[in-house]
Structure 1
Amino acid sequence: MTTPVHEAIGTPGQPWGDAEKAQWRSRQARRRSYAEDVVGTIEGLRGRFDVEQYGELDYAPDGRYPLFAIRSRDWNDALPCMLVTGGVHGYETSGVRGALQFVDMHAAGYAGRANLLVAPCVSPWAYERIQRWNPDALDPNRSFHDGSRAGESATLMRLVAPLQGRFLMHIDLHETTDSDESEFRPALAARDGKAFEPGEIPDGFYLVDDSDNPQPAFQRAIIDAVAKVTHIAPADAGGEIIGSPVVAPGVIEYALAPLGLCAGITGARYTTTTEVYPDSPRATPEQCNAAQVAAVCAAIDFALAHPADASGERG
């Protein structure tokens, strides 16, 4: 077994400073290509959809990373807006591939019914390094708040800002992996100078609803759709998934906006975070991608069938 890259950095029990974060960054090796895997795929969609560069991340000496979003070509201000985000955590591969696969296979079917905005890879540096954090050892999915120091988060919020109050639905595509327990959660504890407390990785797909705006019927519709593609995570012996009480089969709740989570940035009526389990012996990479696609389609379909009000805002 390889040694986790965070080990032997800093002093146990003391939070990392700039030197320790720089040491951590120096150990992050590029393992795949954002330009080839993601940008190349997006370029192939330009004939059917509008593609915009909404920013660029300059992470010298590692490179510059243009950020792209895909929009409905027939954008109509009278229609509700739906936001799909993937790759907020770059290592969560099916979030990126599922978002792109949804656009390729299904997005055109919503023409004239909804405005779609898809940001398929929010964290390209982390995508290339199969990493959770950005180069500054920040977790973008805890950084969606005013004054964010994570460029990935701040740039996406600027993209979304002109449409605030018009989103009916936002689905953020994620994974829970074995490496969360073996690498990323221990690294978080080391970075923050805390003791690591082992947890349990659930086997299967689950969702994170917003505890400040729970939408149980919306979550259930997604779970029912995904259950046709892959298995749903059961609760553990304590009735929890990753330390949170299960409020319905395959559903837990977080306070999305207060925690700085991506799914909390729009104030939409319907919000959720998907969590696919790619390390399950019962799921293939293709099933994981298909589960994300099924979740996106079910989320949009439910929102269109149950509009909250004319503006798409919460009641």
Structure 2
Amino acid sequence: MNYPIGTPGQPWGDAEKAAWRARQQARRSYADDVLSRIEGLRAHTDVVAYGSIDCEADGAFPVYALRSKAWDEALPCALVTGGVHGYETSGVHGALDFVESHLADYDGRINVLVAPCVSPWAYERIQRWNRRALDPNRSFISDSPCDESAALMRLVAPMAGRFLVHIDLHETTDSDESEFRPAKAARDGQPFEPDTIPDGFYLCGDSADPQAGFQQAVIAAVATVTHIAPPDAKNEIIGSPVVAHGVINYDYRALGLCAGVTDARYRTTTEVYPDSPRATPAECNAAQVAAVRAALDYALAAGG
């Protein structure tokens, strides 16, 4: 399968990236879908502006985090991130649903910081990468070249050592196989190797600190909302061994993943499957909310 941009076997240069960028048209509104909801939450949360993503001809996108109104410096902190990949819709709206319906439930127990849409340009274009064809979720590294990742890193840096839990909300979609993996192979000058898309929810834990009990608590909570992805014939999910029901592990730091941006003891990355015939958009959002609540509840019960 040859991607329509570039020459097979040759990594993209500036011309190919410009051609790719020209294909990316806004298909929904960050202002209407996300900023309007954040405005509606100002009376109930503290809204923190933590940067502006300069997308040149496409404009500048302000990015915001929402935090507990009853923030207490004596309490541990939790981080919830969504929209690191802008096309993963339930990550954004699940995070906002959690803030609207459940954030106040944790007042006096844990401070919660929610960055609901880390990549607004990509949200509008239903795209995985930022406008420079960089994957934000491989860019949480020192001197990050990705503005979206760097902005979030600056936001959390002053709270280093205070996070007890971090849950990063993602999706795995059919378009991963039809568009994003072929585009990545073309960009990097590599052959495209087809894979399968798991039907259901799963988690990516950290291979350096798996916290198996924590991962299974989140899986158990989500299983009451939507179905959990089974392993494939090789006992894998997206090419990684299944280590427990619905759980695989990645090396967060080595891969530059958002879930490695803090030293929180309890960390996980959710993966919802919105293209399943067995799930609705509302169910996908609810699965993200259930995952956040389960992560917070487990961390509070287990302590640091």
**Please, what TM-score do these two structures have when normalized by structure 2?**
0.99
Matches within 5 A, 1:191-270: 191-270=187-266
How far apart, in 2, do the equivalents of 1:302 and 1:8 lie? 46
How far apart, in 2, do the equivalents of 1:238 and 1:10 lie? 33
Return the match for 2:141 from 145, 152, 158: 145
1:156 aligns with 2:140: no
2:122 maps to which residue? Answer: 126
Amino acid at match of 1:124: P
Residue deviations 1:24-45 (CA, integer Å, cap 9, x gap): 0011000000001000000000
1:16 aligns with 2:12: yes
1:95 aligns with 2:130: no
- Alpha-carbon distance, 1:8 to partner: 2.6
- Alpha-carbon distance, 1:77 to partner: 1.1
Gapped regions of structure 2 (runs ≥ 5): none
- Alpha-carbon distance, 1:9 to partner: 1.4
How far apart, in 1, do the equivalents of 2:208 and 2:216 lie? 17
Return the match for 2:33 from 16, 24, 37: 37
1:105 aligns with 2:101: yes
How far apart, in 2, do the equivalents of 1:193 and 1:158 lie? 32
Amino acid at match of 2:275: D
Return the match for 1:277 from 273, 278, 281: 273
- Alpha-carbon distance, 1:10 to partner: 1.6
1:302 aligns with 2:298: yes
How far apart, in 2, do the equivalents of 1:189 and 1:293 lie? 33
2:81 maps to which residue? Answer: 85
Name the SS of the counterpart of 2:99 in structure 1.
Answer: helix
Amino acid at match of 1:281: P
- Alpha-carbon distance, 1:187 to partner: 0.3
How far apart, in 2, do the equivalents of 1:115 and 1:58 lie? 30
Amino acid at match of 2:24: Q
1:116 maps to which residue? Answer: 112
**Please, what TM-score do these two structures have when normalized by structure 1?**
0.96
Gapped regions of structure 1 (runs ≥ 5): 309-315
Which structure has the highest helix share of the two? 2
- When the two chains are superposed, the root-mean-square deviation of aligned CA atoms in Å is 0.9
2:56 maps to which residue? Answer: 60
Name the SS of the counterpart of 1:61 in structure 2.
Answer: helix
Name the SS of the counterpart of 2:208 in structure 1.
Answer: coil
What is the total number of aligned residue pairs between the two structures? 304
Amino-acid identity (%): 71
- Alpha-carbon distance, 1:7 to partner: 3.1
How far apart, in 1, do the equivalents of 2:277 and 2:126 lie? 20
Residue deviations 1:180-232 (CA, integer Å, cap 9, x gap): 00000000000000000000100000000000011000000000000000000
Amino acid at match of 1:107: L
1:313 maps to which residue? Answer: none
Amino acid at match of 1:211: S
How far apart, in 2, do the equivalents of 1:229 and 1:186 lie? 32
1:69 maps to which residue? Answer: 65
Amino acid at match of 2:237: I
